[in-house]
A and B are shown apart, each in its own frame.
Chain A
């Protein structure tokens, strides 16, 4: 993504193919005509910021004016009520994905974590354990390379790699396109491994049943309060790499307490892909979810 304008044209790749439509810069002009054109990246900043903070003695206050009472200016401007979430477009794609999952009894999980938490290794072990029990496919999100999808395919499971280019998260539109390329059987499990990032993926609904946050014990126990949005958005936290606890000063109870400060309803499972700790509990959690999705799909 261009850091001046956010333009990410041509950056998103789904299994190595460029994904370019709807990535132009379309504009509606005053006469109603629409066109798409490139824009300059020379760093110019053509207009002044129209909005400036009210400056008090000790603070800058940006939220001037009473809440919910914006009045139109003196001229003939009229007010148009929008009342929509800023992510309404993404949410509409997510709702479409969710309908597809529901109709087909598919249990979809969105795995989110920092880079290096052990998501892919845990996923590989999970696939091996579920083999023959549940059909499973994977959507892998990374900025670059298809290494993770190749690791998944080596297990025999289907995997589609989405490269977000400079993008920092998967969105529901990308996932919708990846679904077209997957031949996922009905009543299966779809694991979406998001881009390793504890910030942005929190806000983007992909149509999943649950976000599953993976926190490894080699990270700090205070990550849930440093990056609260992600732990608030998740329904389950896997505390991973627990086999390393004897070598670390990581305080498990404190980490769980911090996570539940942000999200009192968060479920927690201690896992280790290496020792197998917690794997049965995690597999049982998936199996229960998949059974509920299958049941709902029959209705």
Chain B
């Protein structure tokens, strides 16, 4: 979806940080993307390259860390692993599982000069 808008959002965060923290170039951008977030990492990489061209983050390496999906199974009253939002509980097979982790898409940190 809309990875272009996400890439622009990431560049805005980087530009804000550059103003506040006084750095002038970015080597690496470290993102955390949940396995159940609505982001397609390959599409985001493509968009990030396009959006950051001629910017402070031009040429920066995009490092994407997958965070695993997690949910709360209401039947087991336990946190369980999930790969997709529609997955059943791996223990009891119930679909009463509410996603609790792995849906985020965060800019975690930057390596800068």
Residues of A whose CB lies within 8 Å of any CB of B are 1, 4-6, 25-32, 37, 39, 45-47, 49-51, 62-63, 65, 67-68, 70, 72-73, 76-90, 168-169, 171, 199-200, 202-204, 224-225, 228-229, 232, 257-258, 260-265
Contacts and interface: CB of A to CB of B under 8 A. Distances in A.
Contacts of B109: 70, 79-83
Contacts of A263: 85, 98
A30 B66 CA distance: 31
Given A32-B24, A50-B59, A228-B84, 5 more contacts: A45-B49, A47-B59, A50-B60, A199-B2, A264-B96
Interface of B: 1-2, 4-10, 12-15, 17-19, 21, 23-25, 27-28, 30-32, 38-39, 41-42, 45, 47, 49-51, 53-56, 58-67, 74, 84-86, 88, 95-99, 103-113
22 contacts: A1-B4, A5-B50, A6-B5, A27-B56, A28-B18, A39-B53, A47-B59, A50-B60, A50-B62, A62-B41, A68-B32, A70-B63, A80-B17, A81-B109, A84-B106, A86-B6, A86-B10, A86-B105, A90-B9, A168-B1, A263-B85, A264-B96
A294 to B, nearest CB: 29
A90 B10 CA distance: 11
Contact of A86 (B18, B59, B107, B113): B107
Contacts of A232: 85, 99, 103
Nearest to B27: A77
Chain B CB within 10 Å — which of A81, A202, A224 has the most? Answer: A81
A97 to B, nearest CB: 17
B18 to A, nearest CB: 6
A216 B107 CA distance: 37
Give 5 closest A-B pairs by Cβ, nearest first: A6-B4, A228-B85, A261-B95, A229-B38, A82-B107
Nearest to B23: A80
Given A70-B109, A264-B74, A29 B56 contact: yes
Tell me the interface secondary structure of chain B in the complex.
mixed
A30 B24 contact: yes
B107 A84 contact: yes
A87 B6 contact: yes
B56 A4 contact: no
A80 to B, nearest CB: 5
A77 B113 contact: yes
Chain A CB within 10 Å — which of B25, B62, B110 has the most? Answer: B110
A165 to B, nearest CB: 13
A63 B66 contact: yes
A270 to B, nearest CB: 20
Contact of B1 (A25, A49, A84, A199): A199
Contacts of A63: 64-66
A67 B67 contact: yes
B65 A265 contact: no
A70 B56 contact: no
A46 B55 CA distance: 13
A224 B64 CA distance: 28
